[in-house]
Amino acid sequence: MAISDGTYPLAADRLFAGAPEHELKEALQRLSLKPDEVPVSEACLLVYAGDLVILVDTGMGPDLSPTAGKLLQNLKAEGIDPADIDIVVLTHCHSDHIGALTHAESKLAFPNARYVMWEEGWEFCMSKETRAEIQPDRVEFLDRKLLPIRDRLELLEEDGEIVPGIHAFGAVGHQPGHMMVEISSENEKLLYISDTLLHPLNLEFPDWYAVYDRDPEQAVAVRRELLKRAAAEGFLVHAFHFHFPGLGYIRRGGGAWRWEPFGGAAQGPIHSPANRSLRAVRGTCRASDLRHWPQPSIRRDQAWR
């Protein structure tokens, strides 16, 4: 089930930092997008795996944007109590993925859950080097969101199974410890790609990295590998930042990749509470074997989000 966290605007020169200026201008005009207000959606994923209820990422939380941070209210609108979440998987520790981990005074929003993330991602967020390069308010945000879960946290050192049918594997470049999550049920497969793709324009222009991609060269390599495999194997993709619900297929034709929305769903931003969720994959899960993505060479000179 895709659960909306809302939308917010980003400047095109940050979202597509690797784009030649004239090409970006033409693409934005073609799509009627304002350079300083490219709408970006957020959709987390809720998975039922046997008796377990698993949430993948938590969105921005209520304090950073008036139009995002809607995950908790949308869960409740679907009749889902956050206390019933058994596992929270964090694909990386950018603020728009960890923001709803805690309420005020660092009280856990998912009080009965255990948490899973990549060990490299945790170490990156807690390192002295990272903390020295980001603003003090970002350090405070990380501590307020991450420190309360550390006693419940499982750190992954390598590709592996979280529970039967849900497999995590490293897909770094966007951030150290960034990972994707594959979910399989009977003959169906869904790949949650997190921030490997940030906008549908990344299919048309896969080399257009974002300022948020810490290692742009690696991020682009992982993105191209994803596009190639997804088009060849035809599995369903969940793209966290694509227009809600972020579900679709990556197709190849005419020398280019394109995004085919799941079920022909419209790809405009979410506006109505009636569109707050979309059911996608539900049932008893089995493991599968998509892995072996390109490995990283980490740079530390890119902007933090």
Query: Alpha-carbon distance 295 to 292, whole Å?
Result: 8
Q: Look up residue 56 and give its two tokens.
A: 């993948």
String of DSSP letters for 216-267: HHHHHHHHHHHHHHHHHH--EEE-TTSSTT-EEEEEEETTEEEEEEGGG---
Q: Look up residue 112 and give its two tokens.
A: 């009965």
Is the confidence at residue 276, as pLDDT, over 60?
Answer: no
Residue 208 DSSP label: -
Is the confidence at residue 296, as pLDDT, over 60?
Answer: no
**pLDDT class of 287 with cuts at 50, 70, 90:** very low
pLDDT tens-place string over residues 198-219: 999 999 999 999 999 999 999 9
User: Residue 131: CA atoms inside 13 Å, Cβ hemisphere, count?
Assistant: 11
Of 240, 196, 206, residue with least CA distance to 96: 240
* Percent share of the chain, pLDDT over 90: 79
* Beta carbons of 174 and 209 less than 8 angstroms apart: no
Predicted local distance difference test score (pLDDT) of residue 32: 97
pTM for the model: 0.87
* Beta carbons of 206 and 19 less than 8 angstroms apart: no
Is the confidence at residue 270, as pLDDT, over 80?
Answer: no
Q: Look up residue 253 and give its two tokens.
A: 């034709």
291 or 171: which leads in pLDDT: 171
b/e for 228-255, b at 16 or more Cβ within 10 A?
eebbeeebbbbbbbbbbbbbbebeeeee
Query: Alpha-carbon distance 55 to 17, whole Å?
Result: 31
Q: Look up residue 283 and give its two tokens.
A: 């049932």
Give the number of other Cβ atoms within 10 Å of residue 150's Cβ: 11
Q: What is the mean pLDDT of the chain?
A: 87
Sorted by where each starts, the structural domains of the chain and their CATH numbers stand as: 2-278 (3.60.15.10)
Of 162, 155, 1, 24, residue with least CA distance to 80: 1
Give me the helices (H) in 31-134, please: 71-77, 95-98, 119-126, 128-133
